[in-house]
Amino acid sequence: MKKNLNKLRIDIDKIDQEILELLSQRAGIAKEIGRLKNDGVIYKPEREASLLAKLKKLNNGPLSQASINNIFKSIISNCRALEKKLSVSFLGPLGTFSEEATIKHFGENIDAIPTNSIDEVFSQVQSDIAHYGVVPVENSTEGAISRTLDLLLTKDLKICGEIILPVHHCLISKNRSLNTINKVYAHGQSLAQCHDWLMNNMPNVDKVAVTSNAEGARLAASHRNAAAIASSKAADLYKLNNLFENIEDDRKNSTRFLVVSKQEVDPSGNDKTSIVVATKNKPGAIADLVSPFAKNKVSMTKLESRPARIGLWEYVFFIDVEGHYKDKKVRLSVDQVETQASFIKLLGSYPASHDN
């Protein structure tokens, strides 16, 4: 057995050396591409999405597709940083699911900028403090994040990517049992996502909504009889005990995040287009608004209504469809919707998440 193990370890050492040599070659080519570019754009979402799609087809295991994505995201992130390190703003503080989504999408070799609010993420991208922003837009259990939708409507930024992040909540505390805990901190959405578990296990404990789960973890770290709902990463970051894992009511709980920037994205071959439209409050108005998509055989994946905050109309509708705006059928559909709408805004076309 020892002889066989030694041979296999020698084989791994040789492969590792080959991988290192290939990585160095890749990094050198990436630097040369950066030198030849003249448009100043460092990150090409469509190029990265196409690469990961090709790797998915080529992957025969034993590594899962998620593992392949993680490995190549890291390679791309580190090679890209040789040209210029991207700055990415997200809802902080450190330890939030927004940070986790940011790293999942961009890799770890970035200038990460945690902020105090979704508004601040948009503001930092708008004012060129950050190249990109990552914001939550909807949760599979609790629905849309209203503030993100309102800012997409009013701010002059484009959606250039999406991230689907499985969300698993933990109960974390300085204590090692539930007996003396009298308060639980968490973001309001997380409290709602764990409602049944909290009612069954901590019915008489005060539930306190805070700006983020990481903020809840920070507060729990400074109060002996408090706990927080947050990620296992937050538990490590704030040196708290992980009392219970996966306390969310829906084990398939996930949050969709959007990447926003000033950048427009070319087709990747597997894209989404998002628009926001408004129409007068009259019979059949909504049916007339969305009928062009059915007529042109464009699949609509989302229709979300919001009370209007600007203009004279009463409601605005956020619509996601499959395909890129440069696709003939999508462009024709959007043009036809415009004839029915009192207001329309193209929020962006972007690669669909690899986890869809």
Give the CATH number, domain containing residue 285: 3.30.70.260
Residue 356 counted as domain residue: no
Decide if 231 is inside a domain. Answer: yes
**Beta carbons within 8 Å of 287's beta carbon, 6+ residues apart:** none
Q: Please, what is the angle between helix 285-295 and helix 328-340, to 10°? A: 160
Question: In the structure, what pLDDT confidence band is assigned to residue 277 with cuts at 50, 70 and 90?
Answer: very high
Q: 180 catalytic, yes or no?
A: no
pLDDT of residue 245: 93
Angle of helix 65-83 versus helix 2-36 axis, rounded to 10: 40
The whole-number pLDDT of residue 320 equals: 96
Integer Cα distance of 265 and 30 in angstroms: 20
pLDDT value at residue 127? 95
Mean pLDDT of 75-95: 89
Asked whether residue 280 carries a pLDDT value surpassing 80, the answer given is no
CATH number at residue 119: 3.40.190.10
Whether 154 is catalytic: no
Q: Mean pLDDT, to the nearest integer, of 57-67? A: 91
Domain span holding position 64:
2-82
* 128 and 176, same domain (yes or no): no
Tell me, yes or no, whether 144 and 215 share the same domain. Answer: no
Give 141's pLDDT tier (boundaries 50, 70, 90).
confident
Percent of the chain with pLDDT over 90: 64
Per-residue confidence (pLDDT) for residue 186, from 0 to 100: 94
Mean pLDDT of 15-25: 95
Residue 17 has pLDDT above 70, yes or no: yes
In order of 15, 69, 70, 116, 342, the CA distances from 18 in angstroms are 5, 20, 20, 44, 60
Q: Cα-atom radius of gyration of the chain, to the nearest Å? A: 23
pLDDT of residue 74: 92
Average pLDDT on 231-244 reads 91
Q: Domain check: are 278 and 324 in the same one?
A: yes
pLDDT of residue 228: 95
User: Considering its fold, how many domains does the chain have in total?
Assistant: 4
Q: Which of 115, 255, 273, 279 is catalytic?
A: 255
Catalytic pick among 97, 106, 257, 317: 257
**Per-residue pLDDT, 312:** 54
Mark which of 261, 296, 326 sits at the end of a domain. Answer: 261
- Return the C-alpha torsion angle 147, 105, 100, 63, nearest 10: 140
DSSP structural state of residue 167: -
> pLDDT tens across 102-126, in order?
999 999 999 999 998 999 999 999 9
CATH number at residue 10: 1.20.59.10
Reported pTM? 0.86
Residue pLDDT, tens place only, 176-222: 888 889 999 998 889 999 999 999 999 999 999 998 888 899 999 99
pLDDT above 70: residue 313: no
